[in-house]
Amino acid sequence: MKEALYEGKAKKVYATDNPDEYLVYYKDDATAFNGVKKGTIESKGVLNNKISAFFFDLLTKHGVPNHFVRLVSDREMLVKKLTILQIEVVVRNIAAGSLAKRIGWEEGRKLPVPVVEFYYKDDELGDPLINYYHARALNLATDEEMKALEHWGLKINEVLTNFLKDKKVELIDFKLEFGIHNGQLLLGDEISPDTCRFWDSETGQKLDKDRFRRDLGDVEAAYKEILRRLTGEVI
Ligand code: TMP
Ligand code: ASP
């Protein structure tokens, strides 16, 4: 295989013969706390590739423009080439993780309205929280793009929350990345237990990367359970 154009913590990106498309390879590597904690989660690459493909398809059906083209193999998907914005969009329904700490709420307390946050994608700075003004000052996105990020974040939250309710999964919060393809803003990256908090609606059991971050055990089983609830596929 050709050399990767880019290797991140969980994925590698390859050029293809089509200048408009990239091949994304999903790895089993897992990191947390900005790479301080390292490990592997067996079959995570396969699971996140399939889970992300499922969510991108669902979002396409609901009119959310995204980079997904098609699955190529168990660990690979073809995507539209994006120039990624250096902004992470987080949407939250229930206080957890860094928000619970920041505002002093116990984890699991429902927010009265969804909360949208922006983070500056910069590993050296540890991805700090930013607002519209920082985005403008740092020239990370135009005001119009920032409004679009907020709009699509809330729309994606609606689609995913409603879909997951039927699968007895509560969508606590999630992180999105967006990029520009031929002048159009598209959702990129992945949507998986690495980038979302999923809690079982009935038991409250965590079915996401917090099992790895917090050493809760049964990490693989949690990712497998999410794929099973979405598609019925048992791995
Ligand atoms: P946080 O509570 O740690 O800020 O995380 C919010 C959401 O964003 C959670 O669903 C996990 C996801 N996330 C990532 O996808 N990548 C990251 O680097 C971090 C810190 C969080
Ligand atoms: N992806 C992040 C990292 O290693 C952290 C996380 O998901 O918590 O750095």
Q: Which residues contact 82 (CB under 8 A, 6 or more apart)?
A: 67, 178, 179, 180, 181, 186, 188
pLDDT(152) > 80: yes
pLDDT in tens, 196-235: 999 999 999 999 999 999 999 999 999 999 999 999 999 9
| Pocket-testing residue among 34, 211, 216, 219, ligand 2, by greatest number of atoms within 8 A of Cβ | 34
pLDDT in tens, 105-140: 999 999 999 999 999 999 999 999 999 999 999 999
Residue 98 CA: nearest ligand 1 atom is 2
| Pocket-testing residue among 31, 89, 90, 198, ligand 1, by greatest number of atoms within 8 A of Cβ | 90
User: Which residue type does 132 have?
Assistant: Y
Tokens 């590597």 -> residue: 29
| Pocket-testing residue among 37, 103, 109, 175, ligand 1, by greatest number of atoms within 8 A of Cβ | 175
Question: Which residue's CA lies nearest to atom 6 of ligand 2?
Answer: 32
pLDDT of residue 224: 98
The closest alpha carbon to 24, from 47, 6, 43, belongs to: 6
Mean pLDDT estimate for the chain: 98
d(C-alpha 174, C-alpha 148), whole Å: 17
Ligand 2: centre distance to CA 151 (Å): 25
H or E, element range at 170: strand 169-181
For the chain, the C-alpha Rg in angstroms (whole number) is 17
Share of the chain above pLDDT 90, in %: 99
DSSP state of 96: -
Tokens of 10: 């969980």
Ligand 2: centre distance to CA 51 (Å): 18
d(C-alpha 35, C-alpha 21), whole Å: 28
CA-CA-CA-CA torsion sign (87, 96, 116, 29): positive
d(C-alpha 9, C-alpha 32), whole Å: 10
pLDDT in tens, 28-59: 999 999 999 999 999 999 999 999 999 999 99
Residue 209 CA: nearest ligand 1 atom is 11
Ligand 1: centre distance to CA 18 (Å): 32
Q: What is the mean pLDDT of residues 69-80?
A: 98
Check pocket membership of 35 for ligand 2, CB cut-off 6 A: yes
The three-class DSSP label of residue 53 is helix
Residue 123 CA: nearest ligand 2 atom is 9
Q: Give the helix, strand, coil percentages of the chain, each rounded to 5.
A: 30, 35, 35
Sheet holding 21-26, edge to edge: 6-7, 11-15, 21-26, 76-80, 68-73
pLDDT of residue 2: 77
H or E, element range at 222: helix 219-231
pLDDT(1) > 70: no
Q: Could you give the domains of the chain?
A: 4-80 (3.30.200.20), 83-218 (3.30.470.20)
Return the C-alpha torsion angle 88, 151, 230, 29, nearest 10: -10
d(C-alpha 88, C-alpha 147), whole Å: 14
